[in-house]
Chains A and B, each alone.
Chain A
């Protein structure tokens, strides 16, 4: 899987947070919410079938998080650190390339 594009950002924000408590616990660096990985809330996870994908990007557009980004060949990549398993991507996919499966058995 491709590396998260937020990696550098996460490290930068984590560093600032651990160094100084701000007045009112304000986050002074934009994008700090990427530090808080929220994928653990998930019950169902999207399972992606690359062979069926037609690269229409509907999953990418509809993801409310957004936890889907595109790789070099413009195929969707699911970022399970943030995906809540809402299933919107699977619902929108016109070719059934995404199926929701129970993650914890």
Chain B
């Protein structure tokens, strides 16, 4: 029987790692994800997890050790956040290019400067072009489940790409919720053992990994990463379906909430989706036609699902905790791209909010709704809006 335990998302991530039985975990502590490797090191020390726990001197080394271990042919896991993920940046490309299915748990945190340890998504969003798959958890249960699903998808022979699972700093990493820990046998059946056919260490069959490619071959190698990202779309759906069959919890690339007759759909990711669902419930009682769409999968970008979603609404209001300077948010770019050649498309309004752990309140959402309603009425509106900004101190 699965057991229910009250735990933080960090602990949930550590439990997910324990259930996935990686052979190597290399990690360096960084707020807010420190507790993940801390908890895993306890599991290893107590003999509950048979794995090599490598203590390293930086995140660059952590991911490098993971690349080495994964290239040797074993399941590999690490955890990080913010500056730590940024320090891993160059190796993230290498992991994806070498097609190593490493999984990283990321406590989503703002980037410096100024130094800020609280939540936004700038860290993982900044790595969106590395080739890694990206999942975002709304709550602690999703943090656990999505890590298991990430392993399943990453290791699929049609995909073979690394994956990161983001969960919001402090809002999830340090907040306790009841989490169901699935049975080990069921997880074993779901994941199976990782037996790589391309990347492994066998002295009797020497291969060279991380090769040099001249201009005559580099483009083809990168294209295989593109193809793998495309293939991942179907594999993710299959993994979600199998996960639901075994564990009863349903995931979708884009989870919709009260969108069927909605005129305005709020689009968001991570824990913010929970807040917005509450807000939408409140508005629905007042008869305002609004809904929520939550992206569980951000990379590969669910283009087809976005196009379906766009048919349902007159206005898509994107709520995002990240910024691309002079452009808007990352979602704004991705949604614009997905819809630009559609004949009928909704108006897209972008909202940047909650950066660096600023609370997103109903008052902020009221402000966003006001602008979205202006767009709905055909009035003039700003494409990109910073919500909850303290203009009086500027």
Contact = CB atoms under 8 A, between A and B. Distances in A.
Interface of A: 17-18, 21-28, 30, 32-33, 36
A26 B211 contact: yes
Contacts, number: 48
A81 B211 CA distance: 19
B95 to A, nearest CB: 10
A25 B207 contact: no
Nearest to A38: B212
B211 A32 contact: yes
A21 B217 contact: yes
Nearest to A24: B99
Contacts of A25: 97-98, 211, 213, 217, 221, 224
B199 A24 contact: yes
A69 B212 CA distance: 25
B224 A27 contact: no
B224 A21 contact: yes
Nearest to A33: B208
B252 interface: no
A26 B224 CA distance: 12
B207 A28 contact: yes
Nearest to B212: A36
Contacts of B206: 30
B40 interface: no
B193 interface: no
A32 B98 CA distance: 17
A26 B199 CA distance: 8
Contacts of B224: 21, 23, 25
Nearest to A32: B208
Contact of A24 (B97, B214, B216): B97
B100 interface: yes
Contacts of A28: 207
Interface of B: 97-100, 160, 198-199, 206-209, 211-214, 216-217, 220-221, 224
Given A25-B217, A27-B208, 19 more contacts: A17-B217, A18-B216, A21-B220, A21-B221, A21-B224, A23-B99, A23-B198, A24-B99, A24-B160, A25-B97, A25-B98, A25-B211, A26-B208, A26-B211, A27-B209, A30-B208, A32-B211, A33-B212, A36-B212
B207 A27 contact: yes
Nearest to B216: A18
Nearest to B98: A24
A27 to B, nearest CB: 4
Contacts of B214: 36
Contacts of A24: 97-100, 160, 198-199, 209
B160 A23 contact: yes
Contacts of B208: 26-27, 30, 32-33
Contacts of B198: 22-24, 26
A21 B218 CA distance: 10
A25 B172 CA distance: 38
B215 to A, nearest CB: 13
A26 B209 CA distance: 5
Nearest to B95: A24
Given A17-B217, A21-B220, A36-B212, A26 B207 contact: yes
Nearest to B222: A25
Nearest to B214: A36
A20 B15 CA distance: 41
Contacts of B220: 21
Most chain A beta-carbon contacts within 10 A, residue among B99, B100, B199, B207 = B207
Nearest to A23: B198
Contacts of B221: 21, 25
B308 to A, nearest CB: 32
A60 B198 CA distance: 36
A33 B212 CA distance: 9
Contacts of A22: 198
B19 to A, nearest CB: 27
Contacts of A36: 212, 214
A25 B98 CA distance: 7
7 contacts: A22-B198, A24-B160, A25-B97, A25-B221, A26-B207, A27-B209, A36-B212
Closest 5 CB pairs between A and B?
Answer: A24-B99, A27-B208, A23-B198, A30-B206, A25-B221
Most chain B beta-carbon contacts within 10 A, residue among A17, A23, A25, A32 = A25
Contacts of B211: 25-27, 32
Contacts of B99: 23-24
B76 to A, nearest CB: 15
Contacts of A33: 208, 212
